[in-house]
Amino acid sequence: MFSKLAYEIFEKSIKRYHVLDSVDQPYINSSEGTGIAHVLYRKNWIDTVQWHYEDIIRNPDINPIDALVLKRKIDASNQDRTNVVEDLDSYFYKKYQSVVKSSKATINTESPAWALDRLSILALKIYHMQEETNRTDATADHIVKCKSKLAVLLEQRKDLSTAIDQLLEAFENGTKYMKVYKQMKMYNDEELNPVLRGSK
């Protein structure tokens, strides 16, 4: 199942990141070649680094200058994330474009790549919630609450993985079809964001 492959790659990326556990470490894609595994690994690496950016910027004692620099990195990361999601959707669109659609085929509200984006973030939530359950400096109450939350996250993983695989199966048999829409983010575009346009 595709969701299983994707999740295993996400876990591989998360574990690799946490060897050094630094947002400044170099990016090394351990997935072979330039195929879909390579793209999935990059997708999760972006998410993992951004997860830790978001932790750092919430430090109440952060220097305002450092916070601004970090905010720019988060903005750039969000754009990278969107670009990779669009690359994933282009992959799926190409893969299923020759499938003969049923006359009753329907379109899905969410594309497969955005569902995989959610699975990637979910993998990070599970990793870090598992860490919380293993803390030796936390209260027993904290551990119990985190174990309960982890159980919910694991159930979400099962449901989301099932939904992704069902969606891809529906594309394969022609009962659903997909379109690729670019996000057209306006705030990064010097022609569309009036603040950036005015700063030229």
Segment 107-126, tens digit of pLDDT: 999 999 999 999 999 999 99
How many CB atoms neighbour CB 132 within 10 A?
15
Mean pLDDT of the chain: 93
What's the pTM value of the predicted model, to 2 decimals? 0.91
Query: Is a pLDDT exceeding 90 seen at residue 180?
Result: no
Which structural domain range is residue 49 located in? 2-198
More confident residue, 16 or 31: 16
Residue with tokens 């950016």: 53
Number of domains in the chain: 1
Which pLDDT belongs to residue 29? 84
How many angstroms separate the CA atoms of 17 and 199, rounded? Answer: 37
Mean pLDDT of 30-46: 87
CB 107 within 8 A of CB 178: yes
Report residue 32's pLDDT band, with 50, 70 and 90 as the boundaries: low
| Axis crossing angle, helix 140-173 with helix 2-20, rounded to the nearest 10 | 140
Answer with the residue of higher pLDDT: 179 or 16. Answer: 16
